[in-house]
């Protein structure tokens, strides 16, 4: 696919839309080439730390399997995005006005750690117009849900959402000593 090309899968609400994300979430960039290098190295270090954390969690008997699953989803998504940003620029040429070639003889469009992340999932569910009295966006049209993302982003999001929804299962039950609904006995000189 060339940059910006799209295929409608289900009507106008599920579209495969090819775009390349140069930086962080929602296409934000961070400090040019040095920022991209820093971001790539930070992601790699973060994935190593998360992997080590999962390894340590799996050794503890009292660890919730929910926590391991949620953190593993976050790790898998982060790893997918890292693979794109580290290698994609090396193995494909620029796809601005053409279909990118795999392993071009002249080399890729970016050096190691400077590649873009491919995003393709687009769900423009509906358009709304904010009422005039609405702060900041009054009278403006807004497309819900406009970001283009990939499966790795989805996996990270699912891991975080599951962690929030099932936080009691993920982080275990609270200490019963502090959650008792009974009135504690006041500490007085007689009962100390």
- H helix intervals, the chain: 32-59, 65-91, 151-165, 167-171, 176-179
How far apart CA 7 and CA 110 sit, in angstroms, is 27
Is 119 among the catalytic positions? yes
Question: How many angstroms separate the Cα of 35 from the Cα of each of 39, 42, 74, 108, 183?
Answer: 6, 10, 23, 20, 56
Q: Which of 82, 119, 122, 156 is catalytic?
A: 119
Contact 151, 80 (CB under 8 A): yes
Nearest C-alpha neighbor of 117 from the set 1, 18, 22: 22
Is 84 among the catalytic positions? no
Which residues, at least 6 apart from 100, have a Cβ–Cβ distance to it below 8 Å?
Answer: 2, 92, 93, 94
Q: Which of 153, 155, 156, 163 is catalytic?
A: 153
Contact 101, 75 (CB under 8 A): no
Q: How many CB atoms lie within 10 A of CB 40?
A: 18
Q: Which residues are catalytic?
A: 119, 153
């Amino acid at each position: 696919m060339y940059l910006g090309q799209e295929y409608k899968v289900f009507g106008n609400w599920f579209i495969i839309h090819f775009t390349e994300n140069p930086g962080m979430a929602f296409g934000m960039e961070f400090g040019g080439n040095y920022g991209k290098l820093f971001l790539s190295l930070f992601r790699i270090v973060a994935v190593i730390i998360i992997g080590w954390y999962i390894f340590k969690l799996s050794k503890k008997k009292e660890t919730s399997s929910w926590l391991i699953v949620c953190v593993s989803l976050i790790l898998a998504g982060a790893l997918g995005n890292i693979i794109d940003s580290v290698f994609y620029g090396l193995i494909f040429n620029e796809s601005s006005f053409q279909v990118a070639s795999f392993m071009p003889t002249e080399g890729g469009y970016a050096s190691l750690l400077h590649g873009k992340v491919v995003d393709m999932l687009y769900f423009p569910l509906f358009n709304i117009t904010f009422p005039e009295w609405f702060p900041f966006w009054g009278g403006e049209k807004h497309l819900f849900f406009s970001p283009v993302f990939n499966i790795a982003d989805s996996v990270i999001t699912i891991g975080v959402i599951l962690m929030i929804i099932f936080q009691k299962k993920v982080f275990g039950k609270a200490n019963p000593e502090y959650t008792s609904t009974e009135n504690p006995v006041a500490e007085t000189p007689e009962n100390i």
